[in-house]
Amino acid sequence: MNYLTPMGQALTASASLSLSNTSNRLLAVGSNLAAVGERLQSRKTKTNRLVPAVAATMVLLSLHPASAQAAAGGTGSLDTFLTNIVTLITGTTGTAIAIIAVAVCGLGVMFGSMSPRTLGGVVLGVAMIFSAAWIVGKINGSGA
C-alpha cells in the first residue's frame, strides 16, 4: 500500500533523483581529484630525479679550469687544478658539507623518513672521502 499522496510521491521522486545526481557528481569529482593527485605525484618523482642532476651540473660548472688557474697564479697546470679540487673536497668546505649531510641524515632517521641503511651509506661515504689520501697512499706504496 502506498500512503503518499501524488504530491508526496513527486517530491520523493524528485529528492531521489537529486540525490542520485549529486552522488554521480561527487563520484566524478572524486575520480578527477584522484587523477590530479596521480599527476602531481608523477611530477614530484620527476623533480626528485632532477635535483641531484642539477646539483652535479652546478658543481662541475663551478670547477672550471679558469678558477684553478687564477688560484695558482696563472700557471694553469693540471696538478694545481686537481690539488685545488682535493683541497675543496677534503678541506674546510668538505668538512662542513659532510657535517651537514650526516646531521640531515640523522634527523631523517630520527623522524623515520630515512632508513638507517641510508645513514650508514652516508657515513661510510664521508669516511672514504676523508681517508682517500691514506687509501691511495697504501695502494701505490707512498704511505701518505
Same domain, 77 and 140: yes
Question: What pLDDT score was predicted for residue 128?
Answer: 92
**HEC sequence for 105-133:** HHHHHHCCCCCHHHHHHHHHHHHHHHCHH
Q: What is the dihedral of CA 38, 40, 43, 49, to 10 degrees?
A: -90
- pLDDT (mean) for 81-96: 90
Same domain, 73 and 138: yes
Structural domain range at position 48: 1-62
* 118's grid cell: 641510508
Same domain, 76 and 140: yes
Q: What is the dihedral of CA 83, 93, 64, 142, to 10 degrees?
A: 20
pLDDT tier for residue 38 given thresholds of 50, 70 and 90: confident
Same domain, 48 and 83: no
Scan for cell 688560484, then name that residue. Answer: 71
Task: Read off the pTM.
Answer: 0.44
Residue scoring higher pLDDT (117 or 7): 117
Same domain, 57 and 30: yes
pLDDT tier for residue 141 given thresholds of 50, 70 and 90: confident
The whole-angstrom separation of Cα 88 and Cα 47 is: 28
For the chain, how many structural domains are there in total?
A: 2
Same domain, 117 and 134: yes
The whole-angstrom separation of Cα 31 and Cα 63 is: 49
